[in-house]
Structure 1
Amino acid sequence: MTGLKVLIVDDARFIRDLVSKIVSSGFPNSEVKAAEDGEAGRKMMMQHQFDIILCDWEMPGLSGLEVLQWARQQPNYQKVPFLMVTSRGERDYVLQAVQSGVNDYIGKPFEPSHLIDKIKTWLAKGGETSSVARRRAAEMLAAEQKTQKPAPKKPKGLAQLRLGGGVHRCAVKDLTLQQVRVAVKREDVIPAMLEATVVDIEQADGSTVQLNGFVRAVEAHEPKVDTAFLNVDVLFVDNDPEKMALLSRYIERMNKSTG
């Protein structure tokens, strides 16, 4: 299809590369752009007009669901096909996505031919979602509120974890002057115990506090073998007074904003 413009949003680099390769192979004359997280994807959608969006669900910061909800509020993206490429398939996740205007799910792992067929189908159909389906999903969600688990807490900030295998974006779950707990996507990396690392904690002004440390603990974010995220505890080894002062101010602001 000549001139097809596709946006891929996923914080796992190898997934971005894989999906980009599949789309470029299936649609040789297409223009494919990739965003490393939800916020980057939202900014690209503000700068360009895409014909279809392929978006991961679970990402640090702005989730795929939040990207979808934002897109459906934009006049130029209300009818653009939006497909979730995700390992999430639980009933409440599906209902939330349908209520918000998703067009389809593509479960990980997937066959390249299946992805291409889905894209062709929704390009032919168009992305306008059924108001009846959205209303029905909302009613079903409301009926299940009593049995649903509490919504996950928002991350306290964003950071980068620099390990031997590369740089990985993560969400800050807890932070003190001695250590940090971050959520890392399992698809990216499984850190090793006692592995040396550098944590770049992002500041509101765009700067970072860089702290040296080592991996103290790694655990599954959810009590199941296919958990999508890992919790990683990093113990700091820096004694730099300037770094500690910056970190202290960051923690104070963070506690005020999340308190």
Structure 2
Amino acid sequence: MQKVKMLVVDDASFIRDLIKKAVRSRFPHFVLEDAVNGRRAQSLLEKNIYDLVLCDWEMPELSGLELLQWLRKEFPDRKTPFIMVTSRGDREHVLQAIEAGVSDYIGKPFSNDQLISKIVKVLSKSVSADRIKGQGRPAELAGSASSSLEALTGKAKPAGGAPSGGAVTHQSSVSVLTGGSAQATSSVPSSGGKGKHKGQVIVRVHDKAMPCAIETITLKEIKVIARKADGIPQLFEQAVIDFEQGEQASDIARINGCIYLLQSIDKKMEAEGFKIGILFVDDDPQKFEYISKLIASGTGQKYY
């Protein structure tokens, strides 16, 4: 029986590795290939036929949207399933992807179960159950895939009215995708008097949205102060850092990262705050330019 063949496209090696590890843990029989950007993915798609493409939106040289548009134009008969992976959740970008022929959409950061549910839901429409079946339980997982394109565009709501995938995110819930808004309610923590903060961000992991104060930021990493009351993430967990750039709530720049440090800001067990260190994992010149401007002037002028 022919094995399921899947292409993973992302300019961040950390994200590619996370996705491949999650898929292999459930479906070790899948054949996985990856590409560091849209140009490389184009080359692979010209030579090979894949059962599924899982692609990041924001990449240098050729974006995920541009790759999708090219694929649908050059190979209209293939109808290759295409899942867009992105930290953007605004309605305009979702509609662009739908118009280009995207099969489904998943927002960063995501859990392994959310990712597998999306993959099973999309594959089940074009691949036989026998080919999908491995050591995971796709039928059960498919039933939990509540975040469909209908939910993204407001034609249906997930059970209980909760945001798709169960994640509490800032500017990436179904309400935002359909024109509403999502606001973080927790206050930014105090640093305990140890220096002045350099601004505020929202740090998002797959089940939390944490308002944080920036302690330090470089081209490689950011350290922020968070509240224990907002939840404590795990080491080596993927995260998305939302930088609010202007007066409009939707004017947000997003940087992908990996949590490498969790540290109390006080020796007392009851300390309210803690420090999070996050390494930037994007390989996008535009994002490096944005961070440079942020460091130099304390603000960024362009939403990418």
TM-score normalised by length of structure 2: 0.44
**Aligned-residue offset at 1:113:** 1.2
Q: Which residue of 2 aligns with 1:32?
A: 32
Q: Distance between the aligned counterparts of 1:40 and 1:222, measured in 2?
A: 32
Closer/same/farther in 2, CA of residues 107 and 233 from structure 1, 3 Å limit: closer
Answering whether residue 109 of structure 2 is matched by residue 82 of structure 1, we say no
**Aligned-residue offset at 1:75:** 2.8
Closer/same/farther in 2, CA of residues 102 and 192 from structure 1, 3 Å limit: closer
Residue type matched to 2:6 in 1?
V
**Aligned-residue offset at 1:2:** 5.9
Q: Distance between the aligned counterparts of 1:7 and 1:92, measured in 2?
A: 26
| Among 230, 245, 254, the residue aligned to 1:227 | 254
* Further displaced range: 22-31 or 11-20: 22-31
| Residue aligned with 1:125, SS | coil
Q: Which residue of 2 aligns with 1:13?
A: 13
Q: Distance between the aligned counterparts of 2:126 and 2:35, measured in 1?
A: 23
Q: Which residue of 2 aligns with 1:159?
A: none
Closer/same/farther in 2, CA of residues 120 and 67 from structure 1, 3 Å limit: same
Runs of at least 5 residues in structure 1 that lack an aligned partner in the other structure: 128-132, 138-188, 194-219, 235-259
| Residue aligned with 2:124, SS | helix
Contact 1:5 1:31 (C-alpha < 8 Å) held by counterparts: yes
**Aligned-residue offset at 1:230:** 3.6
Residue type matched to 1:53 in 2?
V
Contact 1:2 1:29 (C-alpha < 8 Å) held by counterparts: no
- The C-alpha deviation readout for 1:146-169, integer Å capped at 9, x for no partner, is xxxxxxxxxxxxxxxxxxxxxxxx
| Residue aligned with 1:110, SS | coil
**Aligned-residue offset at 1:74:** 2.9
Q: Distance between the aligned counterparts of 1:233 and 1:226, measured in 2?
A: 13
Structure 1 stretches of at least 4 aligned residues deviating more than 2 Å after TM superposition: 74-78, 220-230
- 1:136-147 residue pairs with structure 2 within 5 A? none
Q: Distance between the aligned counterparts of 2:31 and 2:58, measured in 1?
A: 25
Query: Alignment RMSD, CA only?
Result: 3.0
| Among 201, 219, 224, the residue aligned to 1:191 | 219
Residue type matched to 2:29 in 1?
N
Runs of at least 5 residues in structure 2 that lack an aligned partner in the other structure: 128-148, 154-216, 222-242, 256-286, 294-304
- 1:140-219 residue pairs with structure 2 within 5 A? 190-191=218-219
Q: Distance between the aligned counterparts of 1:17 and 1:192, measured in 2?
A: 19
Q: Distance between the aligned counterparts of 1:221 and 1:40, measured in 2?
A: 32
Closer/same/farther in 2, CA of residues 225 and 79 from structure 1, 3 Å limit: closer
Q: Which residue of 2 aligns with 1:62?
A: 62
Residue type matched to 2:112 in 1?
P
| Residue aligned with 2:254, SS | coil
Q: Distance between the aligned counterparts of 2:19 and 2:76, measured in 1?
A: 24
Q: Distance between the aligned counterparts of 1:71 and 1:225, measured in 2?
A: 29
Higher-helix-fraction structure: 1
Residue type matched to 1:55 in 2?
C
| Residue aligned with 2:92, SS | helix
Q: Distance between the aligned counterparts of 1:192 and 1:115, measured in 2?
A: 27
Q: Distance between the aligned counterparts of 2:41 and 2:77, measured in 1?
A: 13
Closer/same/farther in 2, CA of residues 94 and 60 from structure 1, 3 Å limit: same
Contact 2:9 2:36 (C-alpha < 8 Å) held by counterparts: yes
| Residue identity (%) | 44
Residue type matched to 1:67 in 2?
L
Residue type matched to 1:92 in 2?
E
TM-score normalised by length of structure 1: 0.51
- 1:91-102 residue pairs with structure 2 within 5 A? 91-102=91-102
Q: Distance between the aligned counterparts of 1:83 and 1:102, measured in 2?
A: 6
Higher-strand-fraction structure: 1
Contact 1:221 1:230 (C-alpha < 8 Å) held by counterparts: no
Q: Which residue of 1 aligns with 2:41?
A: 41
